[in-house]
Structure 1
Amino acid sequence: MPQVIPVVLGAVASNFVSGVVGGGIIGAIVGGVVGSAVVSFTAPIFAPKPKQAKFSAPSVTSISTGSRGRTEMVNQPITAHRIVYGRTRVSGPLVFTHSRPVSGSDNKLDMLHWVIVLAAHEVEEIDDILFNDETVPLDGNGAATSEPYKRDGTVYASIYKHLGASDQTADQVLIDNSGGQWTNAHRLRGLAYIHAEMRYDDKAYASGTPNISAIVKGRKVYDPRLDDYEWSDNAALCVLDYLLSDFGLGASAEEIDMNSFIAAANVCDETVATLDATEKRYTCNGVVDLNDSARDVLESMLGSCAGYLTYTGGKWRLQVGAYYEPVKTFDESFLRDAVVMRPHRSRRQLFNTIKGAFVSPDHNWQATDYPAVASDLYITEDSGEEIISTLDLSFTTSHTMAQRIAKIALEQIRRQRQIQYPANLAGFQVMAGNTVAVDLTRFGINGLPCRVVNWQMTEEMGVDLTLDEDGENIYAFSQSDLKTIGDAPQVVVPNNQSVPPHEPNNVTATAGENYITISWDRITESDFRYVEVWERTSNTSDPETDAARILEVYDNSFTRNLLAGSETRYYWLRAVDRYGNKSDFAGPVEATTTGDQTVVLVLE
C-alpha cells in the first residue's frame, strides 16, 4: 500500500491537490508539482502504530487502551477533553470531592460528594448509572431504589445528572451541602457531568468506593439532510462533525462536499440483516480523546464505516464501505506512456484471516473479540496456511457489523492487481478515491473496476494514476457469512497492551546447498503481529546488541537464500504484538550450508 504521508493542511490550496484519509489523514506536496496519496481504511492492518509511552492519561480512542480508560474515573490534575459520539459507556475525570456529616448527626464524615465530567460538550442523554459493573436503578429524583444502595428506607446513593447545556445551572444539592465550596458560579456549562452523593454503609460499600460510569447518548451532530443538529450514531455524520468542529479539523462548510456526506449517510442508514434481526449498515459509537492526533482519531472513526475521506479541489469528500459506480473508463487511448501492472501483492501484505476486537455492550462495554473472518478459498490459495492479521474497531458496538467491516477489509486485500496508469490530460477528469473502469486488451482486462489510490500530476501536464482493483463483490454480504459470538467470547484484557507475547517455540534450522530454512510453531495469540529474525555468523549471549535484525516474518517460517557453501549462521527469534511489546528471544539455532566452500585464488 502507498506510504502514509502526514497532511499539511495550511499548504493544501491548489485545485489539483488530492488526498485521501482512509484510516489516516493523507496529504502530498511534491516540490513544485502537486499530487495526492491515498490510503485504504485497511492501512492499520499493514502498518499498526504502537502507542508511545506518555506521562499523561492513556488514550481512550484506541481499543487497546480505551476500553478500560473510557469506563473508569480519572483522578489526576490534568486530563484531555473527551468527545462522545453515538451511545457508549463512559466515565471521566473526578473534578470535585467533598465529605460531610449526615444531616443532624455528629461530626463523623459519612456523606461523600463526587463530581465526574463525562463529556466536554452537551449530550443527548445520561442513561444508566453503573457502580463498578452493576447498574444502579434510580427513581425520578436520582435516588437509588434497590439494595444494597437503598435499605430499610435509607438511601445510600443518589445521582444528579447534568447534560451540559449552554444555560446549565449549578447543582443545587451541592450548593446546599458543600459548605460554600460549590456555588452558583459552578455551572460547568458545556460539560456533561454527574454528581454522585454517597452515604457510607458497610454493606453498600463493602469493597470501598465504587468506580462510577454511565451509559451516555453523546454529541448532537449536524445532518445536512435535515439542515439541523440532532443526536445520531450515523458514522458519516459523526465524521462530518469532527471535520467541522474546532476540536477536530475546524473545516468550514465551504470546504465540505455535502453531497458526498449525504450519500454516505444514506448508505450508513441502510438496514441489513444480522443473525436474527436487522441493524443499520454502519454506526459510530465511541469516545474521542482530544490528546490524540487527528489522524489517529479519523483512523478509528473511519474504521466504523470502512470509510475513505478525500481532500481534493479544496473540499473534503467521504466514501463509506459500499460499491461506487465507475465515473470514467480508461483504455489505451488515454495513455501517454507504457502501463505497468502488478498482478500480486507481496506475501507480507497478504492475509486470509482477519481477527480483532469491538466494544461489546453485552460484556460491560469492554473490548471483545469478534468472530474471525476467514476464507477457505484464500487459505487454499495460500497453500493451506492460515495467515492472520488484526483489525480493531473501537467505534463499533455490534459483532455482526464488525464482521461485515472485516470482510470488506479481507476482500480488498485479496484483490491483488494494481495498475500504474500514466494518463494524458484525461487524468484530470478523476480524483483520488474515485472508482474507474479499465480496458486494456493486451492485459486481458475489460471493464475492470479500480479505485484511484494515488493521483500525481507530472511536469509533462499528465497524471500518473495508481489504480487498485475494486469490485462490487468486495462489498456484497450475505446473512450466511455471519457467525455467532457465543456465550463466552474472549474479552480483551484491559491491560493486555502491556503484556508481552510468548516467545516462539520449537525453533528449528535446516540447511541446503546455499540456503537455511528456519521454522517454528505458529503463534496463535490474538494480538500477535510478527516475528523478528536476528542473524549472526557466530554465537553471542546478547543478540540485540551483537546480531543484526534482518527480517519481520508474518508466517511461521522463512528461508535465507544466497548464502555461500559451508557457511554457518546463528539465528534468534522474538515475537511482537500489535502494541509493540516484544517477547524474550528464542534461540540461538544454527545451521551450516551443505554446498562446497568457495575458494578464492589471489594471483599476485
Structure 2
Amino acid sequence: MPNITAEVEGKDTISDPRTGTVGYTRNAALVFYDWMLTRREEGGFGCYSDEVDWDWVAAEANVCDELVDTPAGQERRYEFDSYIQTGAAPSEVRDTFVTCCAGRFTYSGGKMLLRTGYYVPPSSTLQEMDLAGPITVPALLEGDQIANEISGSYIEPDKYQPSDVPTRSQYADDVRQASYDLPHITSPYRGQRILEYYLRKSAAERRVTWPMNIMGIAISTLDTVQLATSRYGLNNYAFQVTSWGLNQDFSCGLQLEEHNADMFEFDPDSYLEPGEVGVLDEAEPISDSDEIILDGGDATTEID
C-alpha cells in the first residue's frame, strides 16, 4: 500500500481583538487563546469566553509581533507553527505553549492569563510593616532548577522533523545541563532566544517567601514588585509573583522569583548557526571475489 501524504492548512478562524478581524495568524498569543477557547472534544482546552481578558490578549499579541534581528533577517518575537493531537492532555499542551514563548501562565481573578516572555517593571513596593510573619530566603535552589548549559529541539520546517537548537551555555567548572522541547517553534533563531532566556533565568537564583497581611490582596500573580527591606540586599532586585494564596487568617502568602531585564536581552551577534545534517555517501557494491579474507586471524575462506 503506498504511503499517503497530505498538506494541512492552518486554521483561518482565529480572532484578533486589536482589529476585530478573524483569519489565519501565527501570532503566539492569538493562537494560544484560540486553542484555549476551543472545545475539549475538538482538541482544545475548553475554557469559557468570560475567562478571557481580551485587552490582556491584545497587549500580549503586540509583544509577540515585535520584530527582532536574526542572521536571516527580521522575524516576529513569538510565533507558533504546529499541530495539536486531540488525545493529548490539555494541561500538558498548555505548558508546551507557555514554554515556547518563554512565558508564564496563571488563573487569577477568574481569567486565564498568559504573559509572554518580556520584562515588566515593578508596579508596587512591598513594605516590611505589612509582613504577617518571617520571610524565607533559600540559600540554594533545587538541583533541577540550576543549569549552565541549555539544549533543546525545534521543528525543522523543511523536514517536518525535530532538530537540535544550538546549545546555549555559560562557562562553569561544574556543568549542569537542562533540555527543553520546543514543538511549536520552526525557527532556530527563535529557539536560541528562548533557550537563552531559560539559561539566564536559571542564573537568577533569588527566591523569597513573603507572607503579607490583608494588604497582600492588592497583589496578583505575575505582578512585578520590589521589596522595601535592607535584608540580604533584596531591595536591589525586582521580583515576579509566581504564587499567591489567601490563608484562613486573611494573610497572603507570596512566592517571589527574581525578575530582571537582562533575562530577555539577546545580542544578535551571539546567534549560532544550526549544524548541517550530514549526507552519507552511497556505498560501493561488493564485487565478486574469488577470495575473502576475514580480518581478525589467520583464517581465510575461499569461495569457489
Q: Structure 2-normalised TM-score?
A: 0.86
Cα distance in 1 for partners of 2:270, 2:196 equals: 9
**For residue 367 of structure 1, what is the aligned residue in structure 2?**
162
Whether the 8 Å CA contact 1:303–1:395 is kept in 2: the answer is: no
**For residue 203 of structure 1, what is the aligned residue in structure 2?**
none
Larger Rg: 1
Q: Does 1:386 align with 2:179?
A: no
Change (3 A) 1:256 1:489: farther
Instruction: Please give the per-residue CA displacement for 1:299-324, whole angstroms capped at 9, x wherever unaligned.
Output: 12222211222211111122001011
**For residue 312 of structure 1, what is the aligned residue in structure 2?**
108
Residue 426 of structure 1 deviates from its aligned partner by 1.7
Residue 488 of structure 1 deviates from its aligned partner by 2.3
| Residue correspondence of structure 1 range 163-562 to structure 2 within 5 A | 209-214=2-7, 216-247=9-40, 248-362=44-158, 364-376=159-171, 379=172, 384-488=173-277
Residue 215 of structure 1 deviates from its aligned partner by 5.4
Q: Structure 1-normalised TM-score?
A: 0.44
Cα distance in 1 for partners of 2:36, 2:11 equals: 17
Report sequence identity in percent.
27
Whether the 8 Å CA contact 1:222–1:228 is kept in 2: the answer is: yes
Residue 287 of structure 1 deviates from its aligned partner by 0.7
Cα distance in 2 for partners of 1:427, 1:270 equals: 34
Residue 424 of structure 1 deviates from its aligned partner by 1.2
Instruction: Please give the per-residue CA displacement for 1:221-256, whole angstroms capped at 9, x wherever unaligned.
Output: 111111221100001001110111223233333211
Whether the 8 Å CA contact 2:153–2:162 is kept in 1: the answer is: yes
Residue 268 of structure 1 deviates from its aligned partner by 0.4
Q: SS state of the match for residue 288, structure 1?
A: coil
Cα distance in 2 for partners of 1:359, 1:279 equals: 16
Cα distance in 2 for partners of 1:435, 1:264 equals: 16
Cα distance in 2 for partners of 1:480, 1:424 equals: 47
Cα distance in 1 for partners of 2:55, 2:155 equals: 31
Instruction: Please give the per-residue CA displacement for 1:144-186, whole angstroms capped at 9, x wherever unaligned.
Output: xxxxxxxxxxxxxxxxxxxxxxxxxxxxxxxxxxxxxxxxxxx
Cα distance in 2 for partners of 1:465, 1:419 equals: 8
Cα distance in 1 for partners of 2:21, 2:226 equals: 37
Q: SS state of the match for residue 243, structure 2?
A: strand
Q: Name the one with the larger strand percent.
A: 1
Instruction: Please give the per-residue CA displacement for 1:360-413, whole angstroms capped at 9, x wherever unaligned.
Output: 113x1110001001112xx2xxxx122211101000000000010111111112
Q: SS state of the match for residue 406, structure 1?
A: helix
Whether the 8 Å CA contact 1:439–1:448 is kept in 2: the answer is: no
Cα distance in 1 for partners of 2:80, 2:10 equals: 12
Residue 326 of structure 1 deviates from its aligned partner by 1.5
Q: Name the one with the larger helix percent.
A: 2
Residue 456 of structure 1 deviates from its aligned partner by 1.3
Cα distance in 2 for partners of 1:225, 1:252 equals: 20
Residue 475 of structure 1 deviates from its aligned partner by 0.8
Residue 219 of structure 1 deviates from its aligned partner by 4.1
Whether the 8 Å CA contact 2:12–2:22 is kept in 1: the answer is: no
Cα distance in 2 for partners of 1:481, 1:215 equals: 35
Whether the 8 Å CA contact 2:79–2:185 is kept in 1: the answer is: yes
Q: SS state of the match for residue 266, structure 2?
A: coil
Residue 220 of structure 1 deviates from its aligned partner by 2.7
Cα distance in 2 for partners of 1:423, 1:349 equals: 26
| Residue correspondence of structure 1 range 84-163 to structure 2 within 5 A | none
Cα distance in 2 for partners of 1:359, 1:327 equals: 37
Cα distance in 2 for partners of 1:331, 1:480 equals: 41
Report the count of equivalent residues: 276
Whether the 8 Å CA contact 2:151–2:179 is kept in 1: the answer is: yes
Whether the 8 Å CA contact 1:329–1:447 is kept in 2: the answer is: no
Give the aligned residue type for 1:292. Answer: A
Task: Quote the RMSD (CA, aligned, Å).
Answer: 1.7
Give the aligned residue type for 2:103. Answer: G
Cα distance in 1 for partners of 2:13, 2:100 equals: 18
Structure 1 unpaired stretches of 5+: 1-207, 491-604
Whether the 8 Å CA contact 2:16–2:30 is kept in 1: the answer is: yes
